[in-house]
A and B are shown apart, each in its own frame.
Chain A
């Protein structure tokens, strides 16, 4: 079946530190992969996506590369800011079917 496993949090980093949030998936075929961000009190919004193997999604300094060989889509940012404090969700949309599958979310707190 389809599933997403995400690094457990919470994660606390100092400003300007390097961020990695791990995400691995199980799916048949070639799913599309997404990272969503949820700021406090808000709904989820798309951060970045990749739709085929070796694609790199990027936005607002965040990057993730679709690795078919390791079934991974790790989120990275070189220098985090206090404003990046949020919950991050990894998700997939499978090759066949009609629903998204989400990880459990990783809470990030960036301290000045």
Chain B
């Protein structure tokens, strides 16, 4: 099991560019999510998905799009990068969305710098 994988590990963008952060899991998990981590603010939820074909917004969705065409993949798209999107992005998955007891499994993160 590779667990949750993310690519790229590091990316530099110019303001206005678009890009896709990739996330994949090989554990057949229903639930997947994207967070951003900023100093002093902890983890903030961007978007999440409770299964293939179903996505929903989290706390900070503006400027980001997601889709979930397969159980395994949950890419995060930045439509037009802004310096405020400079952050570390984490993808996470858990077996189901409904169980209170299950933990999330996190990827290693993507560090994004927007100039």
Contact = CB atoms under 8 A, between A and B. Distances in A.
Contacts, number: 54
Contacts of B98: 98
A29 B58 CA distance: 21
A89 B106 contact: no
A10 B31 CA distance: 32
Contact of A95 (B42, B100, B104): B100
Interface string B87-103: 00010100001101101
Given A98-B48, A98-B98, A103 B42 contact: yes
A34 interface: yes
B48 A43 contact: no
Contacts of B31: 98
A43 B42 contact: no
B108 interface: yes
Contacts of A41: 108
A51 to B, nearest CB: 5
Interface of A: 6, 31-32, 34, 36, 41-46, 49, 51, 89, 93-95, 98-100, 102-105
Given A43-B108, A105-B42, 11 more contacts: A6-B42, A32-B101, A43-B90, A43-B107, A43-B109, A44-B106, A46-B104, A94-B100, A98-B98, A99-B45, A103-B42
A94 B97 CA distance: 11
Given A99-B48, A102-B42, A103-B42, A93 B100 contact: yes
A58 to B, nearest CB: 15
Contacts of A93: 100
A101 B69 CA distance: 26
Contacts of B101: 32, 49, 51
A95 B104 CA distance: 16
A51 B99 CA distance: 11
Contacts of A104: 40-42
